[in-house]
Structure 1
Amino acid sequence: MSDDSDEDKTHDPSQKRLDDAHQRGDVAKSQEVNTWFLLAGATLVLSSFGSSVGTGLLVPMRGLLQNSWMIRTDGPGLLLLGKSLAYSVLSAMGMPFLFLIIAAVGGNMIQHRLVFSPEGLTPKFSKISPAEGFKRVFGKQAAANFLKGLFKLIALGAVMCIVLWPERFRLDAMVHFDPSVILGVSTSLTLELLTSVVVMLAAVAIADFFFQYRTWYEKLKMTLQEVKDEHKQSEGDPHIKGKIRQLRHQMMKKRMMAAVPKASVIITNPTHFAVALSYERGMAAPICVAKGMDNIALKIREIAGKHDIPIVENVPLARALYAAVKIDQEIPNEHYHAVAEIIGYVMGLKRGLSGRRT
């Protein structure tokens, strides 16, 4: 099942899928990059702070040994001695340790943005599953780690031989050197060896990062069905959206029909379109309270007939108003004259009818 799904994952992961993976703590990460940053930081610390750290530790230790006979052995005296030594060590090692912490954080930050996810701490049965364990031992990742480890072993051996082989005679003679000289020579060789290893591991870290990123990216690829499902979740189910549109249309239709009795005139074409306009003295322009075509137009005319609302047939005006004006909006300026003539005619009819009744 998983093999088939992996073969079907032909679509690149969406931004939402990448963001969800980041929130879970699932990011592309190479341990070799972290190792390289720590090793490079240690090399820089040794070359920059080595002498100051040595001096910072040597002075208090020398004073401790020279004045050991003056050390108080009671409780407060030992506590004071511990604090003094702790301050000396922190002052000497504080900056190097801070630099190493920055290097460790930088090794992660350069690969991905900060991750705060408790999901990685949640127990998962897949981690103790024999099948998953078999995949981890004999999978592509395990093969890559084996080849990487083998290459590092061979490369480190080659680097050590290149750096130390020319110094083999001097190393043999170092047993007769003064300890202060041995310290300087060993520090110099250590820095040279670390620098060579850092240069070599840079290539390993870069290659491993691209391999890990590609593996992570391929794992997050999506099948066609996953793309469709995510689109439905983000954009909404088309069936639900269609139902919502249908409900909105029904509500708008009911509201329009309830507003038809308030209309002043109904303009039709005569059967396909119907536009109900409302106008009272003092209004800037007539307002469209309802409009429709075919069945809705017929319903508007039926309600108008029940409420004795005048129906005026004007084919071009009915079509133009239906296309140009929206519900509860004033009619456009270009139709003022034509609508004004009709409303004036309707008002004249109403005045004539009221005059006859009196």
Structure 2
Amino acid sequence: MSDTGAEKTEEPTARRIKRSRDDGQVARSTELPAAAVMIAAVLTILMMGGVFASRLGDMLIDSFTFDRRTLDTPSLLPATFATQLLEALLLVLPVMAVTAVVAILASGVTGGYHFSMKAVAPKFSKLSPAAGFKRMFGSRAAVELLKSLAKFSLVAGVLWALVERHMVELIHLGSMDLQPALAAAGSLITHAALWLTLSLVLIALIDAPYQKWSYIKRLRMTKQEVKDEMKDMEGRPEVKQQIRRRQREMANGRMMQKVKDADVVITNPEHFAIALSYDPTADGAPILLAKGADHMAALIREEAKKHGVEMFASPQLARALYFTTDVDKPIPEALYHAVAPVIAYVFSLAQVRPGVEPMARPRPKIPPSMRFNAKGELETPVERKT
């Protein structure tokens, strides 16, 4: 049982983070998508260049100028407004499409894309006045308030600086003709949009890392919580299976490295492979360095070929060693007389030179109590005869 009063100093485990994501809690920065959308909108308008400005100017001129016949015929006004509205939608449609795509992409930068029904499900705990006051006056609410004030101050400061710098142009707009006034206003708006975009980018560069840090901080665990979670995970069947699989992989990797030190590899010749090592100077039995069946047997044979280890085909002896001897253990005494001629034969091959012939290839005799079939079952008398 975890100590709830202990200090949470440990980084969250992968399981803790996954549970948090399943509950709909992810590191999310709202400022990053806002800045990305603003950048996309400004760049799209700038890329459209004179086409956007020209069409926007024509639309504004049309909206401020009316045919007298239209004014005298009220029934024509809805059609006129509908036409102007359609032109406006067609003009901003590329900007809307680009910003929509950018908003979707930018929203997944910090927390990724994840949908959880738990996040949208109603929570009656939120109806509690105490919980509501805690959320309103908690540390997260205070940080969000300070962030909003800083954002407002920065944006307001930028706008005030722009207005103060271009005050003369703004005052003269009212005395200019329509087309020059629209051109001047468009230039001022573009200038303001660029500075506002830079402001939002600055805010996003601060907010995105903070949100990620804050998210990890909220998920931190006590030392006891980490221990409890590790115990819980180790007790789950799928985790145990994964641990055993990794242990087998590590053991097989170490075993394969020993094949190069073997004196002989006894094969089935395809289904089993057993690597043996024997030190004539030591007073002991041959040691089984590696063994495998099917795919593992093929790997052992391949490793033996690579390092020039002699291979000896003897199906019954290979099965007997495979089913009776563990890795890094000496062979059973009952197989001494079967293995000894094989070892002697392999050593004689190393002594072959002009005028010296190797000994005849032996035919190991396996005791009845050591004769196994491919399934690891002792052979019946009928199987032995066949």
Task: State the alpha-carbon separation in 2 of the partners of residues 179 and 135 from structure 1.
Answer: 55
Name the % identity: 25
Structure-1 residue corresponding to 2:33: 34
Q: Is the 8 A contact 1:29 1:212 kept in 2?
A: yes
- The superposition leaves residues 149-194 of structure 1 with CA deviations (integer Å, 9 ceiling, x where unpaired) of 2222322232123222122223222221112222111221122122
Q: How big is the alpha-carbon RMSD for the aligned residues of Structure 1 and Structure 2? A: 4.6
Q: What are the superposed Cα offsets for residues 298-350 of structure 1, whole Å, 9 maximum, x if unpaired?
A: xxxxxxxxxxxxxxxxxxxx96318999xxxx98965999x949669xxxxxx
Partner in structure 1 of residue 114 of structure 2? 115
TM-score (norm: length of structure 2): 0.55
Q: How many pairs were matched up?
A: 270
Residue type matched to 1:103 in 2?
Answer: V
Say if 2:331 is the partner of 1:320.
yes
Written as runs of structure 1 = structure 2, the 5 A alignment for 1:1-358 is: 5=4, 7-49=6-48, 50-51=52-53, 53-54=55-56, 57=59, 88-236=87-235, 284-285=315-316, 320-321=331-332, 340=365
Counterparts in 2 of 1:184 and 1:125: CA distance versus 1, 3 Å:
same
- What letter matches 2:117 in structure 1? P
Contact (CA 8 Å) 2:316, 2:366: kept in 1 or not?
no
Whether contact under 8 Å (1:56, 1:89) holds in the other structure is no
The question of whether the paired residues in 2 share the 8 Å contact of 1:32 and 1:208 is answered with: yes
Q: Indicate how the Cα distance of structure 1 residues 221 and 61 shifts in structure 2: closer, same or farther if over 3 A, else same.
A: same
Extract unaligned runs of 5+ from structure 2: 245-313, 346-361, 370-386
Contact 2:61 2:178 in 1 (8 A): no
Show structure 1 runs of 5+ residues with no match.
246-282, 293-317, 345-358
Q: Which has the larger radius of gyration?
A: 1
CA gap of 1:6–1:37, structure 2 versus 1, over 3 A, is farther
Superposed displacement of residue 217, structure 1:
0.5
Q: Deviations over 1:271-301 (max 9, x none)?
A: xxxxxxxxxxxx9536659979xxxxxxxxx
The one-letter amino acid paired with 1:150 is L
How far apart are the structure 2 equivalents of 1:341 and 1:212? 71
| Inter-partner Cα distance in structure 2 for 1:225 and 1:129 | 30
TM-score of the aligned structures, taking structure 1 as reference length: 0.59
CA distance in 2, matches of 1:186, 1:168: 12
- Structure 2 residue identity aligned to 1:54: L
Distance 1:153 1:86, change over 3 A: closer
Q: Deviations over 1:32-58 (max 9, x none)?
A: 212222332333344444425516856
SS in 1 for 2:221: coil
| Residue 223 of structure 1: how far off its partner (Å) | 2.7
Cα deviation, residue 61, structure 1: 6.9
**Counterpart amino acid of residue 218 in structure 2:** K
* CA shift in 2, pair 1:237/1:23, >3 Å: closer
- 1:176 aligned counterpart, secondary structure: coil
| Paired AA for residue 332 in structure 2 | L
Higher helix fraction (1 or 2): 1
What SS is found at the alignment partner of 2:152? helix
SS in 2 for 1:5: coil
Distance (whole Å) between structure 2 residues aligned to residue 101 and residue 9 of structure 1: 40
Structure 1 residues 162 and 341, CA, compared in 2 at 3 Å: closer, same or farther? closer
Shift of 1:81: 8.9
The change in CA–CA distance for 1:331 and 1:45 in structure 2 (over 3 A counts) is same
